Amino acid sequence: MTDGQLQQLVNQISSQAFHQPFRHRAYFNARLRTTGGRYQLESHNIDINPKMLTDFDEQTLIGVIKHELCHYHLHLSGSGYRHRDADFKRLLAQVGGSRYAPTPKEHVQMVARYTYRCQRCGLVYHRKRRLDTTRYTCGRCRGPIKLV
């Protein structure tokens, strides 16, 4: 699905479920990692995590779009658009949007390049960056640490 197809889908959902037009931009944003989508208060644009389409079915994507459209329409009308507001919860239940986005399947883990071990208590540290072993000591026992 391209950004143009996503824009058409958001326009269609907005007119069918909310009976109001969507007059701003909707596009995929690959930088979103832990969230399904984002409504931007200043520009009124909607970003969608592309993993909602690749990792899950189209119904999940539609649920996320409805969730973001609830923020959009309530904010523009001056009602409570935040997650904790009763207006938001009521409208989300009315249109059948998803309350929470599922966690993407491929979650990037930190790759440890350096492994250090305390010479006194044996505690192991995994780090991305090199550590100056003359400046730092073990956090548990204050013993000297050594690169393994």
Catalytic residue set: 68
How far apart, in whole angstroms, are the C-alpha atoms of residue 6 and residue 135?
Answer: 52
Judge contact between 114 and 128, C-beta under 8 A. yes
Residue with token string 């007119």: 15
